[in-house]
Structure 1
Amino acid sequence: MRSKDELTAAIRNGGPAVLVINTRARTGAALLQRAPLLLAEQGVTVARVINVRRPERLARALDEAIADAPDLLVAAGGDGTLSTAGKRLAGLDMALGVLPVGTTNNFARSLGWPGSLDAAMATLGAGKVADVDLGQAGPDAFTNMVSLGVSVQVAGRVPHRLKRHLGRSAYPLTALAALPGHRPFRARITAGDTTLEFETHQLNVANGAFHGGRRIARDADIDDRLLLAYRFGAGSRLHLIGSAARHALTGSYLTMDDEPFLTTGDLHVETDPALPLDIDGEVRGRTPVRIHIRPNALRVMVPQDFIDR
């Protein structure tokens, strides 16, 4: 396993890169022809491009890319694509390069991406390799978030065409449509000597710093060895809507010491009734579940000013 500096130097000195593009992502298809040329302008040597047209093909495409043993595996897609790539690269002697072309791009934002494709390209050419945390929910790793409640209904109901045309606004619109039929649930969170019990419609456990394209808390970090657990509202549907709206408006001002956050590296979640989990946008697993941090599990290209702990 090379050091981070050695891997950074290898990438900058023309070490091979493989580009995996999810052309079903919001702007992925438009990037297919341009990306290799744009990366070459940044000094990134693209040895192979793999086009993923169907979601079920992604895992195999990533395995093919890893088999080429590149120094840099560049994944172009949304949070689902990048999460799948991050899990596949965990513990390997290669770096994940992020080209965010999805709807909310939470993972990329947590890595310090300022919001433009040009900036993402520049990071791949002039950035550095950092080790960041992954979360683990039962047998499943995740880059950004585990959630349960109304979000599970939303994950399965947001139309692809709506995401393409409306962007991240598609999620709250779908959530509002799902909410009238959603029942609140009882949750119990245990973290060390702390136990919290409450009723709610929505519970999130974040490894990253962003949700819905907006900051969760101003000091949240993807590389701080902490999970950030929080709920939206209590049992009332109106309380849920108000809580979610307040958080969207004030997240950049809140700190992890504020309500409603619980910070920990390891927790256990029980619910009544047992509920399915939304793990980085994919519905898999159920409560009860242990969720914990895997410190520095993933190597990824980040901007030079990213604080690597």
Structure 2
Amino acid sequence: MTDAAPDSVVPDPAVPETLAPSPGSAPPIAVPALEIRGLRKAFGAKVAVDGLDLTVPTGSFYGLVGPNGAGKTTTLSMATGLLRPDAGTIHILGTDVWRDTVKAKSLVGVLSDGIALFDRLTGEQLITYHGLLHGMDRETVAQRTGELLDLLDLRSAGGTLVVDYSAGMTKKIALGAALVHAPRLLVLDEPFESVDPVSAANIRDLLAGYVHGGGTVIVSSHSMDLVQRMCDHVAIIGSGRQLAAGTTDEVRAGSTLEDRFVELVGGRHHSEGPSWLRTS
């Protein structure tokens, strides 16, 4: 992916102009979309994130992968102002997240895995509410909400309470809420979990168009194949530390991302299992 300035990129037709990041508000391209230095977080005696450094280039489609308990969700929660770190610094597009939290949060859209939504609102109301919270006028919010419902194949469910949505529909409406204010950075924790293949393909197209229009996406996922196909940069973390980071090809080092992941993380057991699991 090239590092052309956002205002020189022709917006992708998959993303309506009103939803693409505003070129006029783009910072200099040299400023990383996300810069983390010395990040640390412990829960009692358990160290979840241990001196993590991470740089996400502006305009990249960045994959964050690691085994269960590696510290991915904790890292993203701190990076987006949801959880205060014990130590370290975090900057979103040059803004210190914990010194100017309001400004930092205005630059980012977040889809957090497992975070409760206001599910007694309808899908349309939920996206509208998020837009109004970001200070947008009602006319703009209404226009963007309609476009997002169409893009996410939720128009017919727009008047249904979110509590009655399936797991996949809930993921999609949460993504709509994260996009409505046209953030410069999208942070998505397991965005494709429980989403059907057709909807997943539509979401991938939407995110690719968003990046092509000047935005930056960070995706945390357990699907190595998905990350390898979608992302131009990737970081592998384990035990709260960075094990490898760079372009996807650099990190793969001539192998598949899954094989490289297993090599760095370890823990694979070559076993056929106990004899009582074999039926013949």
TM over 0.5: no
- For CA contacts below 8 A with separation 6 or more, give which structure has more relative contact order: 2
Higher share of residues assigned strand:
1
TM-score per shorter chain, which class?
under 0.3
